[in-house]
Amino acid sequence: MEKLRPQLSTRWIATVASIWIQCSVGASYTFSIYSAVLKSSQGYSQSTLDTVSVFKDIGANAGIISGLLYSFVTRNTSLPLCVVHVVGAIQYFLGYFLMWASVVGLIDKPPVALMCLFMFLAAHAQTFFNTADVVSGLENFPHYGGTIVGIMKGFLGLSGAILIQVYDTFFKGEASTYLLMLALLPTCVSLVLMFLVRIYEKTRSDHKKHLNGFSAVALIIAGYLMIIIILENILTLLLWARISTFIFLLILLLLPLGIAINALREESNRSLQTDSIGINLLTDNGEQVTSPKFSTAEDTVEYQQLPSSDLEVKATSDDKMLLDEEPLNPLQSMCTVNFWLLFVAMVCGMGSGLATINNMSQIGASLSYTTVEVNNLVSLWSIWNFLGRFGAGYVSDYLLHKRGWARPVLMAVTLATMAVGHIIIASGFPANLYVGSVLVGICYGSQWSLMPTITSELFGVRHMGTIFNTIAVANPVGSYVLSVKVIGYIYDKEASGDDDTCYGTRCFMLSFLIMAAVAFLGCLVAVALFFRTKRFYQLAVLRRLSHSFK
Summarize pLDDT for 442-472 with one digit per residue, the tens. Answer: 999 899 889 988 988 888 877 888 888 889 8
Query: Distance between CA atoms of 369 and 418, rounded to whole angstroms?
Result: 22
Partners of 496 in the beta sheet?
Answer: 501
From the list 101, 116, 66, the residue with the least C-alpha distance to 86 is 66
Query: Distance between CA atoms of 286 and 304, rounded to whole angstroms?
Result: 39
Q: What 3-state class would DSSP assign to 32?
A: helix
Residues 77-135 have pLDDT tens digits of 677 888 999 999 999 999 999 999 999 989 888 999 999 999 999 999 999 999 999 88
Residues 30-79 have pLDDT tens digits of 887 888 888 888 888 877 887 888 788 788 878 889 888 988 888 776 77
Residue 382 in contact with residue 27, Cβ under 8 Å? no
- The neighbour count for residue 354, using CB atoms within 10 Å, is 27
The pLDDT, as a whole number, for residue 32 is 77
Q: What is the mean pLDDT of residues 397-426?
A: 88
Question: pTM score, two decimals?
Answer: 0.75
DSSP letters spanning 245-309: HHHHHHHHHTHHHHHHHHHHHHHHHHHHHHHHHHHHHHTTTT-----GGG-SSTTPPP-----GG
Burial class (CB in 10 A: 0-12, 13-18, 19+), 102: buried
The pLDDT, as a whole number, for residue 75 is 77
Residue 185 in contact with residue 159, Cβ under 8 Å? no
Residue 466 in contact with residue 68, Cβ under 8 Å? yes
